[in-house]
Amino acid sequence: MKHKTLYDKLHSYSHRFYGDKTPNQVIYWTRRMLAEHKVKVRKYIDKTNTSYSILCVGGCYDPTIDDGKDIEMYISFNENERDKPFKLEESTVKVFIDEVFKTLVHEKRHRYQFRQRGNNFGRQYRSNVEDKTLKVQLEYYGDNDEIDAYAQEAVIEMRLHGKSHSKEMYQTLFAKTDPVVYNRFLKKFIKYHQKITL
């Protein structure tokens, strides 16, 4: 499915989210919105109450899941919003569905990568930095599959918002520490920039 077609299809559900909604209602309509994509949607209650309502969307692709739903999406709600309805304005719903779209495209890319390799995992990137937190970040974002998926996500962010946090992050992490990774990201970014229309 083309990016624009998918984007429009997800946003055709916008009106279902407007107004006063409980977390369970948001989860219900998100599941309906993603049903044809075989995505498992889970509610995550953030007990620290630091989530920005439903704007926090996360996801993962797990090829070991056997039930046909190998992409999982998580929507975070603050503990104090566990059962209470809250008002969703049109602008909030747009941001939320944009985040769902970006996450879905990212995880579908990982599914494609895994299948293209004959259902095998790719090589992992290794970093020699001493700082453990930075090392984890570099090894995650330096992975070839992540470079590819985040380059695609960066183009989507540029199309939707005129700037990209993903692109800025790759520049910050790799432009000086590992220019090879940064250049690999930029090449992918240019490739997707020519292919993705929104």
User: Over the stretch 6-45, which tens digit does the pLDDT of each residue have?
Assistant: 999 999 999 999 999 999 999 999 999 999 998 999 998 8
Q: Which of 104, 81, 135, 112 is nearest to 31 (CA)?
A: 104
- Residue 144 tokens, joined: 């070839």
pLDDT at 171 over 90: yes
176 compared with 67, residue with greater pLDDT: 176
- Residue 91 tokens, joined: 């602008």
CA–CA dist 10, 66 (Å, integer): 26
CA–CA dist 142, 122 (Å, integer): 12
The pLDDT score that the predictor gives to residue 86 is 85
pLDDT at 128 over 70: yes
- Residue 28 tokens, joined: 């219900």
- Residue 54 tokens, joined: 């439903």
User: Over the stretch 77-117, which tens digit does the pLDDT of each residue have?
Assistant: 877 767 788 889 999 999 999 999 999 999 999 999 988 87
Q: Which of 133, 136, 116 is nearest to 124 (CA)?
A: 136
Classify burial at 1, counting beta carbons within 10 Å of its beta carbon; exposed 0-12, middle 13-18, buried 19 or more.
exposed
